[in-house]
Amino acid sequence: MTTLLTSHADCLNHEIAPGHPESPDRLKAVEKMLSGTRFNDLVREDAPMGTVEQVLHAHPEDYVKQIADVRPTEGIVHLDADTVMSPGSWDATMRAVGAITHVVEKVVDRQFDNAFVATRPPGHHAEAHRAMGFCIFNNAAIGALHARNILGLDRVAVVDFDVHHGNGTQDIFWNEADMFYGSTHQMPLYPGTGAYTETGVGNIFNAPLSPGADGADFREAMNEVILPALDAFRPDLIIISAGFDAHTRDPLANINLQEEDFVWITNKLLDSADRHAGGRLVSILEGGYDLKALASSTGEHVSALMSA
């Protein structure tokens, strides 16, 4: 397998208050892990700058203009209690947009078998009209809709194993029957969405996990809810919202996954991509706030992508 890794130094310039969990150190930890010799076969490309036209796949023009207009030249501006913009945030956010659309194009065109996007800020909490939960634009949704609207795919799936529910992706896909969203996540927990009963137009599949759940519970939820629904959907492309904050070390939640659980679900999704999508799969970094767990989990995830 040939795996593409895409990132950009601009993503380190999205500055937040000292002590905030979504810090540039997260990306530095991931980059340090992926610089090891076992990742020598990764093909590495800088992310291009995304365009407003790409963002408009998932967000209306007035929202995009609002974000562009509030970007500061100094200090920080709060978009909500948890989500801020600093002078470097616009470029960081647009590099993430450019990264996901770039790798989707490369994988759909079969230049690479799969890809991993190491960018920040994350995206899965960003709703069509609202920034929240550290997220400004919804990268995974933008990539999925770019694949449909521009590249002509019929069905695109986003599978999200971040410990927090991706309310933003669910919101954007809610009435889109040719877009699939499947999520495991802790409940109750921020943002409070993600019940089994939230189903969109039959394209949304949530499998909430109770606090204290472990790898066996996670695998059961995937095997009983998400993976069968994904097989029935038969996607032309799978995008993973790869949050690693369900790791037992993570400080923001209470799920007890280990690195081997992330390897297991990565392999399951690669298998699904082989069955339905000609192997086409793209993964993008979402959460993960214990630096050691984030680095090791990302390393195992990317190793699985490379070894499929």
What residues are annotated to the active site? 125
CA distance linking residue 186 with residue 86, whole number of Å:
30
Burial profile 29-48: b = 16 or more Cβ within 10 angstroms, e = fewer: bbbebbeeeebeebeebebe
Question: CA distances (Å), 186 to each of 120, 162, 256, in order?
Answer: 22, 9, 11
CA neighbours closer than 13 Å in the CB half-sphere of residue 10? 20
Name the β-bridge partners of 206.
183
Q: Which of 86, 81, 175 is nearest to 131 (CA)?
A: 81
Q: Residue 132 has what DSSP assignment?
A: B
CA distance linking residue 281 with residue 239, whole number of Å:
6
